[in-house]
Amino acid sequence: MARLSLLLLSDGRFPAGGYAHSGGLEPAVADGLDVADLPRFLRDRLAAVARPECMLMLQAARAARAGDLDALRRLDAESEARTPSPPLRTASRRLGAQLLRTACTVWPQQALIAAYRAASAATPRPVAFGVVAAATGLDDLDAAQAYLYEEAATLSGAAARLLPIDAADALRLLADTEPTLIGLAEEVVSSRHPPAELPSAFAPCHELRSLAHSGREGRLFAT
């Protein structure tokens, strides 16, 4: 089941809500980012935002495998505390809730997903993703690669709508991240931070831009 689960979670057609988000690209484009800046923007986002989120996601996957709902609720709080921007915190909750709703439909036999969905008041995306990954049989490395890939794919897909770049070139940008994705996934899997000592994302421009973006009229993406 794990192989199919990995393919499903990595499929852009999996309705987890990511299509409504640009990974911070839309507000960056509004501030002047162009096509030439895309590779660096993607690498920096993966390192500064996706990597620490992925570490928290794996903590959630490990807690889920142990059936520890109390630990998952504590990770909810850790995730919320590590997201100072209210719009990004709201987006994370909505993405997590949508992922859980879809997962409950796709894998109704996995009681753990429904149990966390009922127990969590926040459902932040990293924790929700970890629960779904654990319940569907993904190991740590597959879960980490899937999480990081989804981050990169979200940005790549948004680039084709926001910038003068061909869809094939946007996919090439995604393919070029392979060494970065593999390296970050292996680093995340090897880390053994206790939950309270997990690193936080450090992307001040991303946080500040999200505040302005949330009130911008005519935006294409929620974030």
Contact 128, 97 (CB under 8 A): yes
pLDDT at position 201: 76
pLDDT at position 34: 94
User: All domains of the chain, ordered by start, with CATH?
Assistant: 50-209 (1.10.4190.10)
- How far apart are the C-alpha atoms of 214 and 160, rounded to whole Å? 21
Cα 138 off chain centre by: 16
Tell me which of 71 and 13 has the higher pLDDT.
71
Pairs from 154-158 (Cβ < 8 Å, separation ≥ 24)? 154/18, 154/21, 154/22, 154/23, 155/22, 155/23, 155/24, 155/25, 155/41, 155/42, 155/45, 156/42, 157/12, 157/19, 158/21, 158/22, 158/23, 158/25, 158/26, 158/220, 158/221
Q: pTM (2 decimals)? A: 0.93
Q: What is the mean pLDDT of the chain?
A: 91
Q: Encode pLDDT of 181-219 as tens digits.
A: 999 999 999 988 887 788 877 788 888 899 988 888 889
